[in-house]
Structure 1
Amino acid sequence: MLYGRNDEQARISSLLAGAREQGRSGALLLRGEAGIGKSALLDHAADLLADGDGARVLRVTGIDAESGIAFAGINQLLWPVRDRLDGLPGPQAEALRAALSGSGPSGDAPPARDRFTTGLAVLTLLADLAEDGPVLCLVDDVQWLDGATAETLLFAARRLAAEGVVMLFAARDDAFTGTGLPELPIERLGRDDAERFLAGHGLSPAVRDRVLHESGGNPLALREFGMAGARLPDGSRPLPVTDRVIARFQSQIDELPDKTRLMLLIAAAEGRGYMPSLLGAAHELGVGLEDLEQAERAGLVEVSGRSIAFRHPLVRAAVYQGAVAACRLTVHQALASSSEDADCRARHRASAALGPDEDVAVDLQDAAERARKRTGYATAARLYEQAAYLSPDMDTRGARFRAAANMALQAGRPDEAEDFATKAGALTDDPAELAHLGHVRAVVEYERGNRRAAARMMVEHAAYATRDDRAAMLRAGAAYAWTSGERPALLRAAQSLPDDTFVGGLALLAGDDLEHGVPLLTGLVAQARLTTPEPGVTADLDETARLALILGDDEAALELATVEAARCRLNGLIGALPGVLRTQAQAQVATGRHTDAEATLIEAISLACDTGLPNDEWRLSAVFARVAAVEGDESRLRDMPEKTGGALGLLELGLGRYDDALRHLEAVPHQYSADTMLATADLIEAAMRAGRPERARAPLARFRAWADAVQQPWALATALRCEALLADSAEPYEQAVRLHEKATRPFERARTELLYGEWLRRARRRSDARTPLRSAIEIFERLRAKPWLDRARAELRATGESGSTSIPTAPVLLDRLTPQELQVVRLAAKGISSREIAAQLFLSPRTVEYHLYKAYPKLGISSRKELSRLTVEPSST
């Protein structure tokens, strides 16, 4: 019976009822000190679900001894359902088989998937199991899970939706933080509940009061001290409850025979309860299973089948901490010699090492490589760190710290990567080694948002890198430099890598050489559109799509980003996808597909959070800034953590605050890319509206030069619009309107038509003005560009337009859908199955079906067959 846990039990019961009755999923993290009753609440949840037909309970308990074995926890959780792997999509099944079997790519080849594919596979597998009834996953002692398992389970938990799966985690107070999961703190029992807990122990009032005082309301302490009665540890010194409980266990252990204590120590050091290893070490040390009899009778351990389990982790801690160091080392040596598992053998050899030992360090390095090949990068980083500390040779130690830094970087842990890189740097003066560590530090700085510093570091260190690393570092440094405006670093990269078209083209643009720079980059984009990329390669297409955006080639950018996103989905490359989706969303915003861009960005932000990359969220959110500016959503834009002067200037321009717009836009750094050149066009209009034409002439020359170089119809049309503003002439407006008819960027077209309509009205050509103004109103309405729509309607009324100034439009059914419903509906309309859609969107099939179920009534249909008759693809611009 649980005392004082009514609220906690109700919270868990609600989650389980949602899964059982409505197919809802949920996750919850129980947090509290050792002995507070987290495991008891997990047991309670298992008992509640066990009453249902078809229900399934899967359990895993973190074991400190297995924290250095990649996917040890996943094996424990999913081994009973491993026969269900054949039903998973190919890349997911391959990833989960590798996790369960311990196999990875042969040789030095990296995995053909990223580290999140296993998490998606777990999500799909749990959803499949839930087809037969609700599924409950209980994850106890999360603080001791291996890093690969923890990351995998977190990914699955964050993406739960409508599968009928509940995941409950239990962790110590100071562990497993920053997960993003809802948390339930487990507090100590109050006096009344603690007294009820002790009611059956037959304690005298004096002893009961001492137990209540010493235990502090901790249920484990109450039980142990209540059982001890008057034989409590000395309470003269105030110790934390955990230490007092351990002291209580140690007093019990001290009363046992020497052989029993030794056998307990072997079990504590082995940690997993794996009988063959235990008995092998026991035989070598002259003890056996029979020596555990008194420990069993005392309730310290349970022996069943092929395993030994301590009653509570603190019992194991008491056994291990209470043994002298020499005895612990002897036990680890015996366990190492008896272990058949290479990873376990490496762990015990490391625990038995008295000082640096290269043989042991090699074993740990081999274990790290096994973890790496299975995408267990966090585990690999930890093992490389251990290997470094055991390395006698300082150069070898530094190399292993460097490898730990690389693994930490791949695991998405920049702080750890920087720490390892610092330790490695202190052990070497080799220029190539220092260059490699500089690469790590530069990536860390970029992830933290220090992009200019990252660009300088990357380019400076590239000068000392090996030939193989040098080109990659210079390209990365050039990209960092371009995005941050660090022109000297970009020029230096180009000088150091003269034959690289990508770096050279960017440097020429930065140096205002449009004549030579634009053709170089345009050629790269054209070549990419004609090339079929190899499976699994992600960087080149996304890089080229971003080049297309720089050049204002919206169609190429959207095409390349869409192809790259599809390949990431096909190959399960989840970690790379948020960046690709950002590029895709930028192209969608540029071409006026705001609804699509919102769906794309929401998916990207969700994936960034679910993969533990929260720093990417602000970068992704910045794409919304231009949409907010177009829509005149001032509060939304100003609340964004990352907003450009261009977006703020456009907002002020739309709201008619021209002096403020000019101030923001003149502060935008000069750069020959589509984003900044759009700000230049806005600056020209703001200067003219503010009555300062002299501040528009130089920006107009820059914009015209860029438009002539890139030869994009929308850019040429916008240049003509800006010229018309200065010339106060109809002819440039007329040319611009004609160009816009075959161009992308409807917002720019509508703005040109608005300005042309205003000019025609002022020229007393009211009838002629109505046609461009009506067209502008239609576009502004579709883009929800309220400030601009209000201006266009006012202009149309000023021409004497009678009746409603609103252009009648058919209701857009797709606007009724949520972003995720929109994604699902579009894929389903193509005839793609729910299972295939789930694999593409990294959801479970049941969640896909849930979104379709919610979307059908909004679209006025009831089946996939009817969906196929609707037009659900974005309209072309």
Structure 2
Amino acid sequence: MLYGRNDEQARISSLLAGARDEGRSGALLLRGEAGIGKSALLEHAAELASGDAGARVLRVTGIEVESGIAFAGINQLLWPVRDRLAGLPGPQAAALNAALSGYGPFGDVPAGRDRFTTGLGVLTLLADLAEDGPVLCLVDDAQWLDGATAEALLFAARRLAAEAVVMLFAARDDAFTGTGLPELPLRRLGRDDAVRFLVEHGVSRDARDRIVHDADGNPLALREFGMTGDRLPDGPRPLPVADRVVARFQRRIDELPDKTRLMLLIAAAEGRGYMPSLLGAARELGVGLEDLVHAERDGLVEVSGRSIAFRHPLIRAAVYQGAVAACRISVHQALASSSEDGDCRARHRASAALGPDEDVAVDLQAAAERARKRTGYVTAARLYQQAADLTPARDARAARLRAAADMMLQAGRPDEAEDLASTAGTLTDDSAELARLGRVRAVVEYERGNRPAAARMMVEHAAYAEPDDKAAMLRTGASYAWVSGETPALLRAAEALPDDAVVRGLAHLAGDDLTHGVPLLAGLVAVARAATPEPAGAAGLDEAAGLALILGDDEAALELAAAEAARCRLNGLIGALPGVLRTQAQAQVATGLHADAEATLIEAISLACDTGLPSGDWRLSAVFARVAAVEGDESRLHEMPERTDEALGLLELGLGRYDDALRHLEAVHHRYSADAMLAVADLVEAAVRAAQPERARAPFDRFRTWADAVQQPWASAIALRCEGLLDDSEEAYAQAVRLHEKATRPFEKARTELLYGEWLRRARRRSDARTPLRSAMEVFDRLRAKPWSDRARAELRATGESGSASEPTAPVLLDRLTPQELQVVRLAAEGISSREIAAQLFLSRRTVEYHLYKAYPKLGISSRKELSRLTLEPSTT
């Protein structure tokens, strides 16, 4: 019976009932101090699940000594259901097979595998198991999970939706933080519940008050103090409850025979309860299982045929902490010699080391490499750090700390990477190693948003790097420099890397050399498009899509980004997908596919959050900012973490605040990219409307030069529109409208039509003005571009037209759907099965069908068959 936990039990019961009755999934983190009753609540959940809920129960308990073994927790959790791996999509099955076979050779681990694919495999496997009934996953002592397991389980937990899977985690107060899961803190028991507990356990009335005071509401303390009725002297500064409990355990342990204490210490140092290692070390030290009889009778350990388990982690802590150092070292030495597993042997050798030891450091480095090959980057980083601590030579220690920093970057932990790199930098004067450390610091600066500084650092440190490192650093530095407008760094990178066509092309653009830069980059885009196989593309397509965006080649950008997204989905490359989706969303916004862009961006942000990546990526925010600016949503735009001058200028222009628009647009970086050039075109309109056309002449010349170079119809049309604004030329406007008919970018087309219609109305040609104004209004309405739509509607009314000019048109069918419903519906309409859609969108089959079930009524249909009769492709004109 649990005392004082009615609310907590009700919360757990609700989760399980939702899975059983409605197929809902859920996750919850129970948090509290040692002994507060987290494990008891998990056990209560297991009893409920296997009883009324009829659920399958899977368990894993974090083991402190296994926190350095990648995927040790996954082995515990999924080993009983490993036969179900064959039914998973290929990349997911490969990832989980690699995780579950991690104690053996690593030759079968897929090269370049994404570290998040394992988490996706966990999600899919749990969802598949739930096809047979609800599934409950219990994760106890989560603070001691190895990093790779924690990452995989949290990925799965964050993406739960409609699979009938419940995941319950339990962790101590000061650990396993930043999970993104709902939390339920466990309070200490009140006096009445504590007294009821003691009465139930037969504690005398005389002892109750004292035990209640000493235990301070901690259930484990109540139990332990109530067993004997004795108390511990507190002295002037009372110990925390957990420390008092440990002290109580240590007193009980001190009363045991010497051989029993030694056998307990072997079990505590081994930590996993793995019998072969325990017995091998025990034989070497002259003890055996028979020496545990007293500890079993005293309720300190439980011995089964295959393992030894402490009744509570604090008992293990009491055993280990209460032993003298010499005994602990002897035990670790014996465990190292008896272990057949390289990772465990390295851990015990490290624990037995009395000082720097290169031989032990080499063992730890080998263990770190094994973890790295299995994408256990946090585990690898910790092992490299341990190896560095035991490394005698300063330069070698610095190299291992730098390797640890590299692993932390791979794990998405830039702050920890910087700390490791800073320490390493104090240990070495080697120029190549300092260059590698500089690369780590540059990446950290970029992740923090200091992009120009990151570009300079990367390029400067590349000068001292080894040849194998130099090219990669220069390429990365050039990319940083381009997006931040740090032209000097980009030019230096191109000078040092003359054979790299991408860097050279960007440098030409940055140096105002469009004659060489545009054809070079356009040629790279053409080669990428020609080489794109179906259906999933080839590596490097995201870079080519980015180049297409720079050149304003919308068709190529859409095609290449879609192909790269498909490749990432097919191969389970989840970590790379947010960046690819950002590129895809930029192309979708440019071509007026705002609903699709919103769905793409929301998926990107969701994946970024679910994988622990920075969800506030400035480039994702910048795409959202462009949409908010088009829609005139001032409050939404100003709430965004990244409000670019391009977006702010467009917003002010749409709202008619021309001086403010001009101020923002003149601050835009002088770069020859489609985004920057669009801002130049906006600047021209703002300057003319602010009656300051002289401030637009030089920017317009720059835009026209760029438009002539890229030869995109939409860019040429906008150049004519700007000419019409500056010269008050009907012919320029008319040519621009005709050219827009061959172009993408409906928003820009509608703006040109609006300006032309305004010009015609001012020329008293009201009938002629109505056609472009109607067309503009319809596009603005579809794009929800309210300020622009209001202007077009006002102009139409000024021509004497009413009716259609008075109210916005009805929303298109797809606007009724949520972003995720839109994604699912589009794929289902292509005839793709729910299971295949789930694999593409990193969801479960049940979640896909849930979204379809919600979408059908909104679309006025009742089944998948009817989707084929609907028009789901929006117009881009």
* 2:88 corresponds to: 88
Q: Deviations over 1:139-158 (max 9, x none)?
A: 00011111100000000000
> Does 2:847 correspond to 1:847?
yes
* 1:285 corresponds to: 285
* Contact persistence 1:30–1:184 (CA under 8 A): yes
Q: Deviations over 1:373-428 (max 9, x none)?
A: 11111111111111111122223222211221111111111122222222322222
Q: Alignment partner of 2:152: what SS?
A: helix
Q: Deviations over 1:321-341 (max 9, x none)?
A: 000000000011111111121
Give 1:589 shift.
0.3
Counterpart-to-counterpart distance in 1, 2:134 and 2:757: 62
* 1:490 corresponds to: 490
* 1:719 corresponds to: 719
AA aligned to 1:704 is R
AA aligned to 1:600 is T
* 2:647 corresponds to: 647
Counterpart-to-counterpart distance in 2, 1:217 and 1:109: 49
* Contact persistence 2:536–2:563 (CA under 8 A): no
Counterpart-to-counterpart distance in 2, 1:721 and 1:275: 80
> Does 2:454 correspond to 1:454?
yes
Give 1:618 shift.
4.3
Q: Alignment partner of 2:400: what SS?
A: helix
Q: Deviations over 1:95-151 (max 9, x none)?
A: 100100117885699733200000000000000010111100000001111110000
1:171-570 alignment runs, 5 A limit: 171-232=171-232, 234=234, 237-532=237-532, 540-570=540-570
* 1:150 corresponds to: 150
Counterpart-to-counterpart distance in 1, 2:488 and 2:8: 59
* Contact persistence 1:233–1:248 (CA under 8 A): no
* 2:730 corresponds to: 730
Q: 55-64 or 808-817: which moved more?
A: 808-817
Distance 1:359 1:110, change over 3 A: farther
Give 1:4 shift.
1.0
TM-score by length of 1: 0.98
Give 1:52 shift.
3.6
Q: Alignment partner of 1:27: what SS?
A: strand
Q: Alignment partner of 1:384: what SS?
A: helix
Give 1:870 shift.
2.1
* 1:875 corresponds to: 875
AA aligned to 1:82 is R
* Contact persistence 1:98–1:374 (CA under 8 A): yes
AA aligned to 1:275 is M
* Contact persistence 2:535–2:563 (CA under 8 A): no
* Contact persistence 2:16–2:53 (CA under 8 A): no
* 1:665 corresponds to: 665
* Contact persistence 1:74–1:99 (CA under 8 A): yes
Counterpart-to-counterpart distance in 1, 2:443 and 2:340: 39
Q: Deviations over 1:276-323 (max 9, x none)?
A: 111111111111111111111111111112111111000000000000
* 2:119 corresponds to: 119
Superposition RMSD in Å: 1.8
* 2:786 corresponds to: 786
* 1:21 corresponds to: 21
Q: 369-378 or 567-576: which moved more?
A: 369-378
Q: 864-873 or 323-332: which moved more?
A: 864-873
Counterpart-to-counterpart distance in 1, 2:612 and 2:398: 28
Q: Deviations over 1:337-390 (max 9, x none)?
A: 111211111111111111122221121111111111111111111111111111
* Contact persistence 1:550–1:675 (CA under 8 A): yes
Q: Alignment partner of 1:57: what SS?
A: strand
AA aligned to 1:124 is T
Counterpart-to-counterpart distance in 1, 2:105 and 2:82: 20
Distance 1:873 1:629, change over 3 A: same
AA aligned to 2:824 is V
Counterpart-to-counterpart distance in 2, 1:53 and 1:234: 46
* Contact persistence 1:525–1:556 (CA under 8 A): yes
* Contact persistence 1:703–1:719 (CA under 8 A): yes
Give 1:242 shift.
0.9
Counterpart-to-counterpart distance in 2, 1:730 and 1:296: 96
Distance 1:121 1:135, change over 3 A: same
AA aligned to 2:692 is R
TM-score by length of 2: 0.98
Distance 1:829 1:62, change over 3 A: same
* 1:572 corresponds to: 572
* Contact persistence 1:105–1:111 (CA under 8 A): no
Give 1:232 shift.
3.7
Counterpart-to-counterpart distance in 2, 1:634 and 1:370: 51
AA aligned to 2:849 is E
Give 1:12 shift.
0.9
* 1:675 corresponds to: 675
* 2:97 corresponds to: 97
Give 1:237 shift.
3.9
> Does 2:8 correspond to 1:8?
yes
Give 1:273 shift.
0.7
Give 1:868 shift.
2.3
1:574-613 alignment runs, 5 A limit: 574-613=574-613
AA aligned to 2:522 is T
> Does 2:832 correspond to 1:832?
yes
Counterpart-to-counterpart distance in 2, 1:401 and 1:559: 42
> Does 2:143 correspond to 1:168?
no
What are the ranges of 5 or more consecutive residues in structure 2 without an aligned counterpart?
Answer: none
Counterpart-to-counterpart distance in 1, 2:742 and 2:469: 44
Counterpart-to-counterpart distance in 1, 2:171 and 2:333: 31
Give 1:654 shift.
0.9
Distance 1:713 1:219, change over 3 A: same
* 2:42 corresponds to: 42
Give 1:234 shift.
4.9
Q: 525-534 or 631-640: which moved more?
A: 525-534
Counterpart-to-counterpart distance in 2, 1:199 and 1:68: 43
Q: 258-267 or 430-439: which moved more?
A: 430-439
Counterpart-to-counterpart distance in 2, 1:325 and 1:703: 74
What are the ranges of 5 or more consecutive residues in structure 1 without an aligned counterpart?
Answer: none
Q: Alignment partner of 1:68: what SS?
A: coil
* Contact persistence 2:94–2:109 (CA under 8 A): no
Counterpart-to-counterpart distance in 2, 1:378 and 1:568: 23
Give 1:746 shift.
0.4
* Contact persistence 1:25–1:165 (CA under 8 A): yes
AA aligned to 1:345 is R
Q: Deviations over 1:479-513 (max 9, x none)?
A: 10111111111111111112322112111211212
Q: Deviations over 1:771-802 (max 9, x none)?
A: 10111011111101111111101111111114
Q: 366-375 or 425-434: which moved more?
A: 425-434
Counterpart-to-counterpart distance in 1, 2:358 and 2:768: 86
* Contact persistence 1:91–1:572 (CA under 8 A): yes
* Contact persistence 1:54–1:132 (CA under 8 A): no
Counterpart-to-counterpart distance in 2, 1:816 and 1:158: 26
Counterpart-to-counterpart distance in 2, 1:534 and 1:467: 35
Aligned length: 877
Distance 1:33 1:535, change over 3 A: farther
* 1:750 corresponds to: 750
Q: 288-297 or 320-329: which moved more?
A: 288-297
* Contact persistence 1:269–1:328 (CA under 8 A): yes
Counterpart-to-counterpart distance in 1, 2:536 and 2:262: 52
Distance 1:309 1:105, change over 3 A: closer
Q: Alignment partner of 1:804: what SS?
A: helix
* Contact persistence 1:447–1:615 (CA under 8 A): no
Distance 1:639 1:140, change over 3 A: same
Q: 352-361 or 256-265: which moved more?
A: 352-361
* Contact persistence 2:20–2:53 (CA under 8 A): no
